[in-house]
Chain A
Amino acid sequence: MKWFSLKKREEIPAKKAWLIRIVAVVLSVLCAGLVILLLGFHPFVTFGEIIKGALGSKIRLTQTVLKAVPLTITTLGIIIAFKMKFWNIGGEGQIMMGALAASVVALNFPDMPRGLLLLCMGIAAVIGGGLWAFIPAFFKAKMGTNETIFTLMLNYLAIKFVTYLQYGPWRDPGSKGFPKVADFTQNAVLPNVFGLHIGWIIALLLTVAIFLFMNYTKKGYEVSVVGESIDTARYAGMNIQSIIITAMLISGGLCGLTGMIQASAIEKTLTYSLSAGMGFTAIITAWLSRLNALASLFVCIAFAVLLQGGAYIQISMQIPAAVADMIQGILLFFVLSSEFFLQYKVSFHFKKAKGVA
C-alpha cells in the first residue's frame, strides 16, 4: 500500500502558487543554513555576508551587475530558442564564436575610430554566434537532425578552436611565452557609463526588445506557434524552415553578442575560458523565468547576487568555494522542485488500509 498519492492539479490560484514558491525559497535557505551549521559556520552570519558581498559596497554591486549582464543577454537568446522548443544548449559555443568574430575585427583594425570599431565588433559577434546557431538550425529544418546533441557538440568545437588559437597561431609574441592572445587596444574596449561598462544598458534594452518581439510581433507569434505545434504552423501557412532559421540566428546572435561584451569589456582579449559556463547557466535561468524575457532580468540579477556573494564568502569567511556552489545547488533544487508541487497535489494516507496491498 502506498502511503501517499499524487493528484494532478487542474489549476492553482495565483496566491497559492506564490505561497508555494516562497515556501520553497524559505525551505532552501533553512536547508542551506543547516549545511553551513554542520560545517561549523554561523548560518545567519554567512547569509548576511553573501548579501553584503553582493550588494554591500559600490565595487561589489558593480561586480554583481557585471555578472548579471552577460547572463541576462545569453538567457534572452536561450528563451527565444526554447520558446520554439528548439533545445539550444549551444550557448557556450555561440558565445565563443561571437567573441572570436569580435576579436578578429578588434585585432585587425585596432586603429579604427572607437565607435565604428565597437559597432563592427558587435555586428561581427552577432553574425559569428548566429552562424554557429544557424548550422544546427539548418540541419534541423532541412533534415530533422537532433538539435540537442548538435548544439552541444558545437560547444566543444568552438571552445577547442579558440584554445588552439590562443596556444597556437594567435599567441601574443609579446607575452613572454605566456599563452594568451594579444590585448585589445583601448578603442576596442566598451566605454563605461556610471562606472560600469555600457553592457548593462545593452542588456536592459535587449530585455525590453525581446519581450516586445516575443509578445507583440508577427515573428514572435510564429516562433510560439512553431514551438507549440509544427502541424498547426503548417496548417496556418507559415514557412517553418525560415522561422526556425531566423529564430536561431537571433538566439545565436544574442549569445554571440554576450561573447563580444565579455571579450571587449571584461577580458579585453580573447580567452578560451571566457564563456565560463554561462551558456549552461542561462538554460537554468531561462526555465526559472518561465521563458518570459522580463522575468529573466530579475532571475539573472538574483543569480548574479548568489554568484558574487558566494565568491565573497570564500574570502571573507574562508568558507570553501564548494559551499557557495552547494548553496546555489540547494536553492535551485528547491525552486525547481516547487514546480512539481505547483503541478501535483500530494496527499498522505496514514490510516491503515484494508484489502489488497
Chain B
Amino acid sequence: MEPVKAIEMKGISKAFGSVKANEDVNLTVYNGEIHALLGENGAGKSTLVNMLSGIYMPDSGFISVYGEEVRFASPKDSIKKGIGMIHQHFKLVDVLSAQENIILGDRQGTFIKRKKLTQEIKKLSDQYGLDVNPNKKVYEMSVGEKESLEIIKVLYRGAKILIMDEPTAVLTPQETKRLFEIIRNMKEQGCAIIIITHKLNEVMEISDRVTVLRKGKSVGTVNTKEVEVQTLIEMMVGKKIDLAITKETIENKKLLLEVDGLYVMNQEKKHALTDISFSLYSSEILGVAGVAGSGQKELCETIAGLNPAEKGRIFFEGENILGKTPQEIIRLGIRMGFIPEDRLGMGLIGSMDIVDNIILKDYQNAPGLFLKRSRYYEKANRIVDKLDIQTPGIFCPVKKLSGGNIQKVLLGREIDSDPRVLITAYPVRGLDIGASLTIYDLLNEQKKKGVGILFIGEDLDVLMDLCDRVMVFCGGEMMGTVDPSQVTKEEIGWMMAGGKMKQEVRA
C-alpha cells in the first residue's frame, strides 16, 4: 500500500525583517512515520513547525495536509486539520486538573460533561499507553506526567499529526524511554509524528527518517537506518567537526570550596536542597547531573550569596561565606565567577551594550559618584577579541547578539575578573555545537589555570566527557559522586531517578 502523505511542505520561505528564518524548505511526512527534524539552534526548525501549527504564515510556498492545500491563519485552523503541537515549554495551567487542562480553549457547548470527558480521556490513555489521572492537578505532576498530559490534550482534539519540540530536554533517561514507547505506539496507530531535536542519539534511536535543516534551508532527508551519525553532523554543521571534548587530569589539587550540610528552602517553602556536602578543588571540573529542578539552581545561587540557606556552611578557602550578600563577597575580595542559568534574566542586561554589561560587577569598586565608562572600553574590547565575540561593536545591545555570543560576553566578563572558583549553570544551553565546543575549551583553559569549576549540565554525554567528577542530584538530595570513567550513562540516569550509589569518588 502506498503510504499516505500526511504533510507536504514545498518551497517554504519565511523572513523576519532581514533574517531569513526559512528559505525554500521542503518537508514530507507520511502517516505512520516518526520524522526527526534536526538542526542546530537557529537553523529554522521551530519556525518551520510554527508554520505548520498556524502560529506563523509562510511568506511563500505551499503546505498541504492529507493532499489538500491549506493556509492557516491561526492555530485553530491547524488544530481543525488534525495537527497538534507539543511545545518545549508546557502550556498547562498549574492549578487546574488534567481534565480541565484538556478541555481548555475547546469551545464545545456551555457545560462540562465530566463523566463523558473522563471516559474519553481514559479511552485515549488506554489506546496509546499513556498514564494520566484526569483529576490530578498539574502542579502535583512530575515532568513525565505533564508530557503525557500534553500528548493527551492534542489527541483529544483529534490530532493525527503530532509535532513535538524537543520533548526530551527535561526528561530523565528513563522517562525518555517511556516517551519513546508512547511515540512508537502512536506510530502503530497510524499517526504521523514530527520530533524536533538536536540530540543525535535520540534521532538514531527513534526516527524513521530525518530532515536536516541548516541556516534556514533544508539540506536533505535521509532514512535513519542508512545513515551514520557523523554524516548527520556534517549535514547539520556543513563541515567536519571533531566532537571529542578533551579532558586532562591535573595533579596537585588544593581545596577551594567546601560545602557542608547545606539545607535550602525554595520560594514555596519546600526543601530545595537537603544535607548537601561536597568539596571543590582547584584545577577540576566538578559536574552536577540531575533532572531540571533537582536543586541545581538553588545550589548555585546559595553559593553565590543570592539565596539564604536554612543551615549549613560554605567555606571558601577556609572562610565561611554562607549568609553573606554578593556585595559582601565581592568586598571580601573573594574572586568567584557565576554564570547563571538565565543569562538575560540574571547576569546580563539585554537592552544595555557590552560595556555597560562588563562594568556590572566592577563599578562598585571604583571611587566616586560617576561611572567612568571609558575606562572599561579597553577591557570590553579585550574580551571581544579574546573570545572572538561576533558583534558590530562594544556599544551593541547584548540582546541583539546571538545566543552563543551572549554567553561569551557573560563568560568573558567572569573569566576576566580572574576568579578562583567558577560556577556555571547550563553554560551551553541553547548554543549550537560550534559555540558549545568553544565554551568547553574556555572552561578547560580555566581549569588548567587552576580554577575550580562547578559545572551544572543537562547533557549526560557532555558531563561525562568534560568533568573530572560528577555529583548526581535528585529532588534536592545528593545521590552520590561518581567518576565518569568508571560508570555508565545508565547508572547515572538511575541515580538521577533516585537510586543511591554506594561508592564515593575522591578527587
Contact = CB atoms under 8 A, between A and B. Distances in A.
B304 A235 contact: yes
Contacts of A238: 327, 364
A233 B370 CA distance: 18
B221 interface: no
Interface string B96-124: 00000000000000000000000000000
Interface stretch (B240-248, B341-349, B380-388, B465-473): B341-349
Interface in A50-72: none
B348 A232 contact: yes
Interface string B339-381: 0101011111111100010011101100001110000000000
Interface string A337-357: 000000000000000011111
B369 A10 contact: no
Interface in B275-332: 304-306, 325-330
A232 B346 CA distance: 4
B128 interface: no
Contact of A217 (B16, B80, B304, B371): B371
B68 interface: yes
How many interface residues does chain A have, given as a range? 20 to 34
B57 interface: yes
A224 B344 CA distance: 14
Given A237-B361, A354-B69, A231 B77 contact: no
A176 interface: no
Q: Which of A8, A10, A225, A234 has the most CB of B within 10 A?
A: A234
B369 A219 contact: yes
B503 interface: no
Given A8-B16, A356-B77, A235 B326 contact: yes
B369 A218 contact: yes
Contacts of B426: none
Nearest to A345: B17
A7 B304 contact: no
A225 B346 CA distance: 11
Nearest to B18: A10
B73 interface: yes
Contact of B329 (A217, A237, A355, A357): A237
Contacts of A354: 69, 71
Contacts of A290: none
B338 to A, nearest CB: 7
B73 A228 contact: no
Given A1-B73, A5-B57, A356-B81, A232 B369 contact: no
Contacts of A9: 17
Interface string A105-143: 000000000000000000000000000000000000000
A330 B140 CA distance: 51
B371 A221 contact: yes
B17 A234 contact: no
A316 interface: no
A237 B326 contact: yes
Most chain B C-beta atoms within 10 Å of own C-beta, residue among A216, A219, A229 = A229
Interface string A192-233: 000000000000000000000000111111001100110110
Contacts of B342: 231
A20 B356 CA distance: 30
Interface string B71-88: 111000100110000000
Contacts of B363: 218, 221
A2 interface: yes
Nearest to B325: A237
Interface in A212-265: 216-221, 224-225, 228-229, 231-232, 234-239
B356 A221 contact: yes
A235 B338 contact: yes
A9 B360 CA distance: 29
A59 B18 CA distance: 53
Contacts of B371: 216-218, 220-221
Given A8-B16, A218-B371, A235 B71 contact: no
A232 B349 contact: yes
A49 B283 CA distance: 78
Interface in A2-19: 2, 5, 7-11
Nearest to B369: A217
Contacts of A353: 71
Contact of A237 (B18, B71, B327, B340): B327
Given A221-B371, A356-B81, A235 B325 contact: no
Interface string B461-484: 000000000000000000000000
B19 interface: yes
Contact of B364 (A7, A218, A355): A218
Contact of A356 (B16, B80, B329, B370): B80
Contacts of A216: 370-371
B405 to A, nearest CB: 16
A228 B360 CA distance: 13
Contacts of A221: 356, 359, 363, 371
A239 B71 CA distance: 53
B360 A236 contact: yes
B227 interface: no
Top 6 A-B pairs, shortest CB-CB distance: A10-B17, A237-B326, A237-B327, A231-B346, A228-B349, A236-B360
28 contacts: A5-B57, A11-B17, A11-B400, A218-B364, A218-B370, A219-B369, A225-B352, A228-B349, A228-B352, A229-B344, A229-B346, A229-B349, A231-B340, A231-B345, A231-B346, A232-B348, A234-B326, A235-B304, A235-B326, A237-B305, A237-B327, A237-B329, A237-B330, A353-B71, A354-B69, A355-B71, A356-B70, A356-B80
Given A221-B363, A237-B325, 12 more contacts: A1-B73, A9-B17, A217-B369, A218-B363, A218-B369, A229-B344, A231-B346, A232-B345, A235-B346, A356-B71, A356-B80, A356-B81
Interface of B: 16-19, 57, 68-73, 77, 80-81, 304-306, 325-330, 338, 340, 342, 344-352, 356, 359-361, 363-364, 369-371, 400
